[in-house]
Structure 1
C-alpha cells in the first residue's frame, strides 16, 4: 500500500518542472522501498522454510503424471521435452517395474502379467493449451496443503507455468525398444477435463530448510531426505487436527485419516468417505545410487520418498457414523461397506545431488 502511494506521489511531482530535487528524492526513496520489499519477501520465504524444516526444490519442478485413458497417438511437435540430455523419442524413466509400482499402492490400472511390464515416464514442458494453475491447484487442494505450514509456498510456486511439468506415462512391455521410428507416443489431451481426470499421481521435490552436519557421502545422502521427513511430520499433524483417524491395518505401516461425506437426508449416517493414507515412516534410501534421476543419472539420485494417497469411497449402504473410527481401510469389513471410486497419490521426494558437494 505504501509503495502505491509513493508511486502516485511520484507521478504528481513529475508534472512539476519546479520540483526536480524533490523528484530525485522520491525516486531514490521509491527504489530503496522496492529493494526493501523484495528483500523482505525473500527473507520471509527463507524464515518460513527454516520454521517448517523444508523448502521446495525449485530445480526439479512439480510433476503431474498424465496417463491417457485411451492409447495416445504420435503427436510429435505438440509437446516439448523438458530434459535435453535424453533423446526426444525415448522415455526419461525406464526402470519402474509395473508390478513393483502397483505393490506400492499407486492407483494405476490393473494389467495381466504386470511382471512383464514397465511404467515409462517422460517430462514435457507444460503445454499452453492447458491451465497449469487449475491442474496443480486441484492436487494441492485435495491434500489440504494450503493449511500445512509452508503450504502457501507451494501454491505460489505453481503459479509459474515454467515450474510445472507434464509427466507423460505409458504402460508397455519391459523389453520395449524406443527409436526415432518407434518413439514414445505422447499426446496433448483434448481438454482440461481430459487431462485432470487422467492424473493418477503427482510429484513434488523438497530440500532440507538448513544444512545438516554430515561427513560421509552416505550421511549426506540421508541428510538430503530430512526435508521429506519434515513434510511427513507436518502432514500427520495437519490431518490429525482436521480429519478423523481410522483404525490401523495389520501391517501397521500406514496411518489412515478420513473426511466424512454425510448423507443429505440422514446426517447421522455416511454415504461416502475421503480416506487419506500416509506412510508411518517415509522411505530414506541407503541404496540411493540404484535410484538415478533422469536429470543426471550419474550424479543425481532419489534419496527419500513420502507417499500420501487419497481415495474417495461410496458407501454400499448408509453407514452409522459411530462406526467410523473403528473402520480399517483394506479390511474385509471396510470392503463390505465402501466401494472405491477415485484415487490419487502424491509423491514428496528428495534427491542427493553429487554436483552440489564441495570438493
Structure 2
C-alpha cells in the first residue's frame, strides 16, 4: 500500500461531504484473503527473554524482503491529518510511518481480541456480527502490522533490519501499572483494519474500472448497515463537522462515555485506484474503497447531559479522553 496519506486526506476532503450512503446493492462479506489486522505501535524497545518474546514475521507478497518494511510510504503528518492518534515528530513532512506484518501472537487470546473489536464498535448489532466474531476468533485470520516511525528515506537491510515485534508473554509493570500481555497489546493498537467484498459473486465481463467500482460495494453496504444500527441503538449527538460525520454516544460503564464518529460517506477511489497499490501484490491489487470509523472513550469528570454536543464547552469540561482508536474497513480490487 504505497501511497501518501496527505493525498488521501485531500481526497477525503473532497468526497466526504454528502448525505449518508444507504445500504443499497450487494451486502458485504469479509475478504478472507487479507484477514484482520491490528496495527501495533510500541514506544519502548525490548529484547527477547523469559518475559518478552519475539513474534514471527509474515510474508505478505512474493517479493517481500525479510528485513524490510512491507508498507513504506505513509507520511506521518498525512495519517495524523486523518485523525489517527499517532505521535508527532518535528519537521513536518520529514517522517514516515512504516508498517510490517507479523503473526498474531500465539500466547494472546484471539477470542478476547475479537470480542473487544466486535463489541466496542457495535458490530455485534449487525446481522452478520456474530459470524464476524466467530471468524475473528480464529487466530489464523489475524495479523499484526507493527508500526515504526523513522525519517523519510530510511532503508532497511540485513545490517539494519526492521525492528522485531516483541511483546510480553507474562504480566509486566508499566509506569507502576500491572498489565497482562493481552492488556499490553490492546493498549498499543491505534488502529485496526478489516477488508470487505460484496457478498455477491463478481459479474463477468467487467472492465478494470468497473471492477474497481464493484469491489467497493461491500464497504458501501457495510457503511449503510452501520449507520442504520448506530442510529437505532445509540444516541445521536452533535459534533464539530456535521457535513462530514455523524456522531453517536454509546452507553458505557459507569463514569465513562464513548463517542463513535462515522463518516457520512465512505471514500471510494474509482478514478485513482491505480495509485493505491496494496502490499499483497502491488502490481495487481489496489485499494478501491475505505471507511474510517473513529472511537473515543472518555472518563467523566463532572455531570454531562446525554445530548451534549461533542464539541461543546459542557462536554469538554466534563470529560477526559483516555482512549482513541480507528477501525478501517477497506476493499481492494484484484486485477487479472
Category of TM-score, reference length = shorter chain: 0.7 to 0.9
Provide the C-alpha distance between the structure 2 equivalents of 1:277 and 1:113, rounded to a whole number of angstroms. 30
Provide the C-alpha distance between the structure 2 equivalents of 1:281 and 1:232, rounded to a whole number of angstroms. 8
Alignment partner, residue 45 of structure 2 = 71
- Aligned-pair CA distance for 1:147: 1.6
Residue 198 of structure 2: which of 204, 208, 212 is its match?
208
Confirm or deny that 1:242 pairs with 2:233: yes
Provide the C-alpha distance between the structure 1 equivalents of 2:277 and 2:57, rounded to a whole number of angstroms. 22
Provide the C-alpha distance between the structure 2 equivalents of 1:198 and 1:211, rounded to a whole number of angstroms. 37
Alignment partner, residue 349 of structure 1 = 330
Confirm or deny that 1:80 pairs with 2:75: no
Structure with higher RCO (Cα < 8 A, 6+ apart): 2
Q: 3-state SS of the aligned residue for 2:112?
A: helix
Residue 283 of structure 2: which of 283, 293, 298 is its match?
298
Contact 1:63–1:204 (8 Å) recurs in 2: yes
Going from structure 1 to structure 2, the CA distance change for 1:98 and 1:331 (only over 3 Å counts) comes to farther
Q: 3-state SS of the aligned residue for 1:89?
A: coil
- Aligned-pair CA distance for 1:210: 1.3
Contact 2:27–2:218 (8 Å) recurs in 1: yes
Confirm or deny that 1:56 pairs with 2:30: yes
Contact 1:86–1:92 (8 Å) recurs in 2: yes
Going from structure 1 to structure 2, the CA distance change for 1:305 and 1:207 (only over 3 Å counts) comes to same
Aligned residue pair count? 295
Alignment partner, residue 171 of structure 2 = none
- Aligned-pair CA distance for 1:332: 5.3
Confirm or deny that 1:280 pairs with 2:270: no
Output one character per residue of 1:85-108: Cα deviation in whole Å (capped at 9) or x when no partner.
311111111111111101111122
Provide the C-alpha distance between the structure 2 equivalents of 1:51 and 1:161, rounded to a whole number of angstroms. 31
- Unmatched segments (≥5 aa) in structure 2: 1-23, 169-180
- Aligned-pair CA distance for 1:215: 3.9
TM-score when scaled to structure 2? 0.81
Q: 3-state SS of the aligned residue for 1:108?
A: coil
Provide the C-alpha distance between the structure 1 equivalents of 2:294 and 2:41, rounded to a whole number of angstroms. 17
Residue 110 of structure 2: which of 132, 142, 164 is its match?
132
- Aligned-pair CA distance for 1:110: 2.9
Q: 3-state SS of the aligned residue for 1:80?
A: coil
Output one character per residue of 1:280-314: Cα deviation in whole Å (capped at 9) or x when no partner.
11000121111110010010000000010110122
Q: 3-state SS of the aligned residue for 1:223?
A: helix
Alignment of 1:254-269 (within 5 A): 254-261=245-252
Q: 3-state SS of the aligned residue for 2:298?
A: strand
Provide the C-alpha distance between the structure 2 equivalents of 1:82 and 1:241, rounded to a whole number of angstroms. 42
Contact 1:228–1:349 (8 Å) recurs in 2: yes
- Unmatched segments (≥5 aa) in structure 1: 1-49, 264-270
Q: 3-state SS of the aligned residue for 1:320?
A: coil
Confirm or deny that 1:314 pairs with 2:299: yes
Contact 2:258–2:298 (8 Å) recurs in 1: yes
Provide the C-alpha distance between the structure 2 equivalents of 1:198 and 1:350, rounded to a whole number of angstroms. 25
Contact 1:85–1:295 (8 Å) recurs in 2: no
Q: Bigger radius of gyration, 1 or 2?
A: 1
TM-score when scaled to structure 1? 0.76
Contact 2:35–2:142 (8 Å) recurs in 1: yes
Contact 1:289–1:301 (8 Å) recurs in 2: yes
Output one character per residue of 1:97-122: Cα deviation in whole Å (capped at 9) or x when no partner.
11110111112223333421111111
